Amino acid sequence: MSRKTGDFVEVSTENEKIKGRIINSKDKKLTLKLNSGYNIMIDEKKILSIKKLEKKTDKKIESRLRQNKSLPKIFILHTGGTIASSVSYDTGAVSPNFSPEDMLNKYPELKDMAYIESKLIFNKFSEDLRFEHYNRIAREIERIRNARGIIITHGTDTMVFTSAALSFALEGLPVPVILVGSQRSSDRPSSDSFLNLYLAIKFILETDFRDVGICMHSSMNDDSCYILPALKTKKLHSSRRDAFRAVNTSPIAEVSREKIIFMNKNYNSKERKLKLMLFNEKLKIGMLTIHPNMHSSEISSFRGFDGLIIHGTGLGHIPIEGKNGEILNELKRLKMPKVIVTQCIFGNVNMNVYSTGRKIKDYLVGNHLDLTLEAAFIKLAWLLSNHKKDIERLFSMNMRNEINERLTAENDFLDLK
């Protein structure tokens, strides 16, 4: 049987029959992409027969889509990531190659909810984004007119950096901006992409939310999503569909096809006038993770940077006693704003509990905050870009719901079951 990359086949061996799509066939190995999304490699010597079930086809995508212009307008800005990805059968990898039209043709139900317009800003995995990309997204949002809301399709790995960046850059945001991602590519049966998109649109259309948020699965089941706060959310799992969780607060809402249940109304709902406050794209912000057996040279490597985020232990500590004394001296030599956050997921830093904290607090900015690592990084970069002379005061100020004034029993820790 002639076989081609992309053909869907059934492979028979002595022990089993395996169905999958051919990724490649070389080096005496046949590699299939299974319906589960995983790959399997089969030794050609063990193959008894191969039955072709479906040929690879190149489907033509409609360039124009009929829509009801009387429906509320939702503008989708595409930036890449898994939600806008498909499998390359030449490599077996997930590649960002869906055009904006691809998504609407794949999910025609979205056109029945709203009048959809879309634009591809760039097509990148989120780990490749830089400050310049945050600015590009913000400028595109500023150009959009007469939209009920805006959805940004985005890779999940650094989605919370982007949601934080937009929260600061879009000052006076007058419409909802929801970031939507997918843990599993759109062509996998277990993909979470459709529900995340569908429920993000539902939330925009049926609520008074006028802020930045994230819409992702609330559980492993395919039945509801959380709308999560842009500056108090983390990705806590590398692959689960319910990987995203609010930190030191609750989700804004849980959304299903049937209803919307609000859990936290700490968001903007008023109409405002948008003003862009963009990032200095030349900034160098470093991140230092504290660990045992540190060396002062790890800190000196950040000389010449504009700011430093220190990922401290516990309540916000770094090693400074005994042989570690040079670490504190090197920290003092860095003439830049230095911020410390806790390596713990929940809770806050507090530099007044132990002697270590009291000895270092005068050399740091913001010493009693519950900022996430991502929010701290973005806030420092934004302040250096827009309020460089007032960083000491503004960093400790709650500007975009990124800081809790105090942690209560309700928001200090969340059940992750």
Together in a domain, 180 and 292: no
Average pLDDT over residues 311-330: 94
Tell me if residue 39 falls in helix, strand or coil.
strand
Distances in Å between the Cα of 342 and the Cα atoms of 100, 112, 345 are: 39, 45, 8
Q: How confident is the model over 367-400, as pLDDT tens digits?
A: 788 999 999 999 999 999 999 999 999 999 999 9
Look at residues 219, 249, 276 and tell me which one is the last residue of a structural domain.
276
Is 406 a member of any domain?
no
Neighbour tally for 7: CB within 10 Å: 21
Is 414 a member of any domain?
no
| Cβ pair 299, 288 in contact under 8 A | yes
Q: How confident is the model over 221-251, as pLDDT tens digits?
A: 889 999 999 999 999 999 898 999 999 999 9
Residue ranges of alpha helices (H) inside 171-252 are: 193-206
Q: How confident is the model over 156-202, as pLDDT tens digits?
A: 999 999 999 999 999 999 999 999 998 866 555 556 788 999 999 99
In the annotation, is 235 catalytic?
yes
**Rounded-to-integer distance, Cα 266 and Cα 401, Å:** 8
Q: How confident is the model over 19-28, as pLDDT tens digits?
A: 888 876 777 7
* CATH number, domain with residue 105: 3.40.50.1170
Together in a domain, 80 and 184: yes
In the annotation, is 249 catalytic?
no
Is 66 a member of any domain?
no
pLDDT band for 2, please (50, 70, 90 cuts).
confident
Is 60 a member of any domain?
no
Together in a domain, 314 and 363: yes
Paired tokens of 302:
């950040």
Q: How confident is the model over 248-299, as pLDDT tens digits?
A: 999 999 999 999 999 999 999 999 999 999 999 999 999 999 999 999 999 9
Q: Structure pTM?
A: 0.83
Average pLDDT over residues 333-343: 95
Bridge partner list, 254 = 226, 261
User: What domain range includes position 167?
Assistant: 73-276
What b/e readout covers 133-152, taking b as 16+ CB neighbours within 10 angstroms? bbbbbbebbeebeebbbbbb
Is 296 a member of any domain?
yes
Chain mean pLDDT for the chain:
88
* CATH number, domain with residue 383: 3.40.50.40
Together in a domain, 312 and 223: no
| Cβ pair 82, 156 in contact under 8 A | yes
* pLDDT at residue number 65: 64
Paired tokens of 141:
């949002």
Together in a domain, 231 and 310: no
Catalytic residue among 33, 202, 232, 235: 235
| Cβ pair 308, 336 in contact under 8 A | yes
Together in a domain, 267 and 290: no
Is 335 a member of any domain?
yes
Catalytic residue among 5, 19, 52, 157: 157
Is 14 a member of any domain?
yes
Together in a domain, 110 and 199: yes
- The alpha carbon dihedral of 116, 70, 199, 110 has a sign of negative
Together in a domain, 112 and 228: yes
Catalytic residue among 31, 153, 156, 162: 156
**Rounded-to-integer distance, Cα 57 and Cα 392, Å:** 59
* Higher per-residue confidence, 60 vs 34: 34
Residue ranges of alpha helices (H) inside 82-235 are: 100-106, 110-113, 131-143, 159-169, 193-206
User: For the chain, what percent of residues have pLDDT higher than 90?
Assistant: 64
Catalytic residue among 31, 82, 153, 356: 82
**φ/ψ of residue 201, rounded to 5:** -65, -45
In the annotation, is 156 catalytic?
yes
Is 59 a member of any domain?
no
Together in a domain, 105 and 253: yes
Paired tokens of 233:
């959310």
Together in a domain, 241 and 145: yes
Please tell me the total count of domains within the chain: 3
Together in a domain, 212 and 337: no
Together in a domain, 114 and 256: yes
